[in-house]
Structure 1
């Protein structure tokens, strides 16, 4: 079977909106990553950007199971000696409400230029409103 090459103009790109309120963090991130890559399309090719756009609202109300709220840790390094900073899920979501969901989605995308390009197609908002009404996004249930 030959490799499918789809011209960017021929790929139909849709907009979807997902309400993350009360949904589990990993399940939302896995579904969004699949939509961004275009895996649900018949013309899927792992080396092309043919996925759709996703708008996520109520990202601050996403939930985690078990005791992850206090035990799940996020780490980053400032670049200085001894600059390793660690935050729990609870602390991170209170400071930056969209960051846990963004980090989960980014971790599920391919690493490299394609993954960085795909990540630009997701828009995450902490509240229930978003400025992408003109694109007429279709709601998706998880």
Structure 2
């Protein structure tokens, strides 16, 4: 386990995920198709039932951050590359995805700042 008590940063992350759950699911579907959508839904469900940040949640947060930041779109062996190739970069939803990624990173940075004794597990999916 990473945290033994609910921290303010964890509460803020949970609030961010709840507030943007539909947008995160839509972004996951667009950027990674159904597997990414299912993974994001499992992450969102886990945050509703998990009072502490676990290593598994950190891995899932890292995967979501990587998806939203387009980390794997240059790898032709990854489904994200094909998904990204189909996106019209002039589409208005691109800005929302960027804002989601920025918000998630801010939440993760805040968690990292609170957890000085742990490595930033969400940065390495």
In proportion to residue count, which structure has more helix?
A: 2
Which has the greater radius of gyration?
A: 1
The structure that is strand-richer by fraction is: 1
